[in-house]
Each structure stands twice: as structure tokens, then as C-alpha cells.
Amino acid sequence: MKRIIGAALIVIVLTFGLAIPVSASSLGISPSKIDIEVPQGGSAIAEFKVYYYTGDLNVTLVDLPFEVEPKVIHATTSPTDVVLTFYASAMQPQDEYNGYVRFLSSGNTVALAVNIVATVTVSLSANIVDPPIRYGGGGGGGIPVYGYDADLFGTSDKLRIDYYGKVKDDVEAISNDGNLTISIAKNTTALGQDGKRLKGLAIEASENPPASPENKSIIGLPYTFSPSGATFDPPMELTWNYDPDALPEGTVEEELVIAFYDEAIEEWVELECVVNTSTSAITTSVSHFTDFAILAKTVDKKPDDAPIVVSPPQPIIKPEPQPLPTPITPVAPPPVVEPAKPSQQPVTITATPAPPPPVDTPRTASWWLIIGIVAGSIVVVGSIIVLKKRLDRSK
């Protein structure tokens, strides 16, 4: 039981010992142990904090076959952040090494050693980094800055970037034809697809760009920005000039856009842009690397030799006027004459013509009605006179 309790106490002490700074007099270093992997011919980073001490500290390695930078740390505050870079030669055997980093004050009054377990690895794809070219933060205790190759439109340059991915200088590059300008502001965080600091960049004209989307056409040269997946915070700025005289007929300049090719969905994605038609330039912000191009809407038009067919105007056919119905003139019926009864006494017969039935006639036929009535009356009167004469003769 005592052995179990003793082992538990040792574990607890070791656990807290790794979490708190190792101290000697007025010097503390945290953490007290670090495991790192160093590729052959490459380098690895280890970060420390220095507590309770201000002044210079000399850095040396014990039982570790590497080079270390910086060799002197300037501790100005408590805590002071320290980044050490360990370099392995290209001939370093692949093995695990257990040693120490020793921090010794300039007057050799205080010293501390931090346990380092370093494994040398061999990898054909290992990132071989340049030695730091400058240190910031007040001397050797600052964050190391690296110089990586930058191929900007065929021009070789150096991209200065620190351990955390901060770009140390303003970067501006212009394409060979003068149409495309990229601007990366100082202190922009530039990271690779693995989330670590960007280790170089390249921009070149795309020889085999993805096909343009439907109803769109690519204007000018598209460009490939690599490495694909690199990110920038804040985004870098693109200014892309175009030749208005070279635009397809019917293109509306205000509708030109810069687009990037999204490999995940295999489509061009349009960016928010500002088109300045007075300078023939399009401006946008880009936060990652891939293929970029200017896109314009495709305008459909008929061939110049296609005949234009104009349909003749159709005649307007007016309906023929229909004649009005002819009014019907009513005719009075003939008088009804009863035969005379034989008698010795003369009989006087008075025939009264029956009035004609009322007929609704248009006003235009009233004169014909009057003439008919007069004619009928004459006939009746004449018949009476003739009948009377016959009666008089018969007497």
C-alpha cells in the first residue's frame, strides 16, 4: 500500500512539475520538457517562456547534435516569449536523442536546463526552411523571420514571413502585360493549406484554365495563384485592367466580374467587384489562392449575312354594310258587300269600311298609310254610288 501511495505522489509531482515553470534563484523556464521532430537537413521550432528574469541568457545544447538559433536571448519582461529553432544537418542519422537546452545568465549566476527529446526524421517531402534572416521583438528573443521564394509573374523575389505567418513587408506585383496587380499588406497572416505559415507563393498565366460557365466568356488571360488553398487575412487586393476595345460586341462593362474556380464544386464563383469604366479596371479582394479570370456575359446575335424578314402589314377588312329591311306597306282589306234580298221596297245599304288593324310601322311609312286610306275611301264611295244607280234603275 505504501508503494502505491508513493507512486501516486510521484505521478502528481511530475504532472505539476511539467505544468509550472522550472526555476533556479530568479529564473523560470516553461515548459520543462518538449518533444520535437526535426527532418534531416531541415529545422523544427520550440517555444518557451522566461519568467522572473530580465537580461541576457546564453543558449547551449547538451547531448543534442543540432544547431540552435538564437544563441543569446534578451529577456526584457516577465514572461518573455522565446522561439528556438533547431537545425539538423542533411547527414544527421535518423534516431531519437534525449538531451537538454541550457539557459545560462551572462554572469553565470543562474542557469536552467530544459529536457528536449528530439527525433530526427527522414522524409522526401520534408519542408526545408531557410535560416531566420532577421529577428524582431528587441533582439535574439524575438520571433524568427524566414525568407521564402516567391515567383511573381516570372520574377523571382523573397517573401519575408515570421514563424506565425505574418508577412513582414508590403508585397506588390504586376503581371508582364501590366494588366493584373496584386497587393498584400504588411502584417497579413499568410497560411498554407496545412494551417502553418506560407512557405512561398507563385502567380503565373494559366495555360489550360477550366472551361468558362454557360453564357459567360473569359476575357484576357486567366491566372493561377499557388499554392492552392493558401489563405490571407486580411484578404489581398486584385486590380485587373481590361481593354474595352477588345471586349466582345454587346458587352456591358459594368457587368464584368472577377471570378475564381472552386475545385470542390467544379464551378466558377463570381466575386464582389468594383468596375471603374473610366480607368478600365476591376478591383476585388481575395482571401485564398486558386485560378482567377475576368468573365463577361455572352451576347447572342444573328450573323451579319442572315436576311432580315419583315412581314408585310395585313390589310384591314371592313365588314360590308347590311341593307336595312324594306318596310311593308299595309293594304286595307276590300269592303264586304252583302247580297241584296229580293224585295219590292228599295233597300238602302250603307257600307262602312272596317278600320284597318293597327300596325306598328316606322314613321317613315306614314305617308304611304295616308295614301292607302284615301284610296280605300274613294273605292268605297264609288261602290256605293254604283250600287245606288242600279237600285234607281230597278225601280
Average pLDDT, the chain: 76
Whether residue 329 has pLDDT greater than 90: no
Average pLDDT over residues 143-159: 79
Res. 123 pLDDT band, cuts 50 70 90? very low
**CA-to-CA dists, residue 7 to 3, 22, 24, 38, angstroms:** 6, 22, 26, 34
Is residue 278 pLDDT above 90, yes or no?
yes
Q: Is the pLDDT of residue 261 over 90?
A: yes
Q: Model confidence at 275, in pLDDT bands (50, 70, 90)?
A: very high
Res. 363 pLDDT band, cuts 50 70 90: low
pLDDT at 189: 94
pLDDT (0 to 100) of residue 377: 81
Task: Report helix, strand and coil shares of the chain as percent, to nearest 5.
Answer: 15, 40, 45
Is the model's pLDDT at 122 over the cut of 90?
no
State yes or no: pLDDT of 282 exceeds 90. yes
d(CA 51, CA 78): 5
The 10s digit of each residue's pLDDT in 94-115 is 788 888 888 888 776 666 677 7
Confidence band, pLDDT 50/70/90 cuts, at residue 334: low
pLDDT band at 339 (very low <50, low <70, confident <90, very high): low
The average pLDDT across 334-346 equals 52
* DSSP 8-state symbol, 140: T
Residue that the C-alpha cell 502528481 belongs to: 12
Give residue 126's pLDDT band: very low, low, confident or very high (50, 70, 90).
very low
Please, are residues 44 and 123 in contact by the beta-carbon 8 Å criterion? no
Lowest-confidence pick of 137-141, 159-163, 194-198, 344-348: 137-141
- CA neighbours closer than 13 Å in the CB half-sphere of residue 310: 2
Residues 119/37, Cβ–Cβ less than 8 Å: yes
Rounded to whole angstroms, the Cα distance separating 143 from 163 reads: 7
Q: pLDDT tens digits for 78-91?
A: 888 888 888 888 77
Q: Does pLDDT of 369 surpass 70?
A: yes
Q: What is the spatial distance between Cα 370 and Cα 329, in angstroms, rounded to a whole number?
A: 11
Per-residue model confidence (pLDDT) at position 176? 87
